[in-house]
Each structure stands twice: as structure tokens, then as C-alpha cells.
Structure 1
Amino acid sequence: MPAHPRQEVTASAHHWLQLLDAVADGEVRVVFCTSSGSRAVLLSEEELQRLEDDAQRSREVQVVLTPRERDVLLLVERGSSTAGIAEALGVAPGTVVQHLAAARRKYGVRSSGEAASRAREAGDLG
């Protein structure tokens, strides 16, 4: 047991304040790791703004759909199945699957419905 526990706490708090000042000044970034593998990061307001700006720019990248990808997403938006889309467009179901995969990849999403929603929001469906 320390002779002066309060002094150690104060000294520890002082070091924490110095560390937090260094984070705020952009000198360091602090990463906390939990036993479950989760992480929390302390970073400066300037660095946070830079990361947010980078993320916004990456979202603004223009997606260019082929005419057929656009047709397929319009039909997805209307609730058509892969087989229904294939029949409507006169192509094989596998071709529809390929167009959907390409559209999902371009929008960075996992579902075709989400790709159709993103395309609509971006004005890519007309």
C-alpha cells in the first residue's frame, strides 16, 4: 500500500491531463484495447475532422452504372425477383446475378435492395 495514495492519484491524474493535452495538440493518438478485442481511440479534433472529410469525399465518388445495371436496379426497386428481372429483360438469371453483384460492389453494399436505394438517392436511376 502506498504511503500517500492521494498523491499517487493526483500524479496519475496529472499525467492523464498531460496525455490528453498531447492528444488535443495532435501529438499522439491513444488506443484503448479491451480484453474482448474492442478498441476506443482518443484523437484530436483536427484529426477527427480530417477523417470525417476523407469519409465524405469517399462517399462523393461518382458511381457509373451500365445501362443494364440501371435497368436491373429499377426492377429490383419495383420488387422483381431475379427470375422476373431475367424474363423482363430477356436475359439469363445468371446474367442478372452478375449485374446485381456489379451494382452492389459499386455502391459498397451487401444487398441488391440497398444498391437500388443508394442508386435512387444518388439520382442514378433517373
Structure 2
Amino acid sequence: MGPVRGRAAQRRVLVALATPDAGPVATGTLVVDPERAQRCIEELGQIVEDLRMAALPALRHAHFEAPSNDEVSVNMTRNAAEMTRRASAYVETWANQIDATRQALRQQLEAYVQAEQANRADRA
């Protein structure tokens, strides 16, 4: 089989499996470890779950009551409530971004597996 050119070359994924004895990998070579990628996807999923099941509910259910009716106490309580609201929005956005990254990694891993299967079929 000769070199692949044009659009077909763009769809092809060159893979070098990293092993301790493999030595340096050529420039432009994509090295993928599917098992590590899957573990990373799972760990990101656990982080998202932890944020959504523990951190966010704790922030959302935080209640502040001024210890006194003086201006400083009331203002401090109002500020604490606002900071908690902002922290909740930040954590929710962060969890969504981590989840989007996890989904993108999953799609990339699936594309890699399909490309590797196609490469194996071409070599057979």
C-alpha cells in the first residue's frame, strides 16, 4: 500500500505505542494509551459527580444569619451570602466545563479506536 494523500491522509491517525523500550517517538507522531485515556475520562466523571453531589448542594443550602442587627453584622452576612451564591455559580460552571472536557475526550478516544481499527484492517 502506497502513501496516503489528500483528504484520506487527514483522516488517518498515525499511532506509536509507548513502551519502555520504544525509545524516542518521531516528531508529529501521536501517542495514545487507550487505557490511560479511559481512566482519565472516568476520573473526570468522578470529579464532576463529587462537585455536583457534595460541593454544590453544600453551597446551595448554606444559610447565613447575622449574629446581631448592627450594620457591620448585617452587611457581613449579606456579603457572605453573595460570595456563597457566586461560589456556587463558579463551581457549577467549573463542573460543566470538566464534563464538557470529559465528553470531548470520550469522543476523541472513540475516534482513535475507530481509526486504529481501520489502520489494522488496512495493514491486514
TM-score between the two structures when normalised by the length of structure 2: 0.35
Greater RCO structure (CA 8 Å; 6+ sep): 2
Which protein has the bigger strand share? 1
TM-score between the two structures when normalised by the length of structure 1: 0.35
Which protein has the bigger helix share? 2
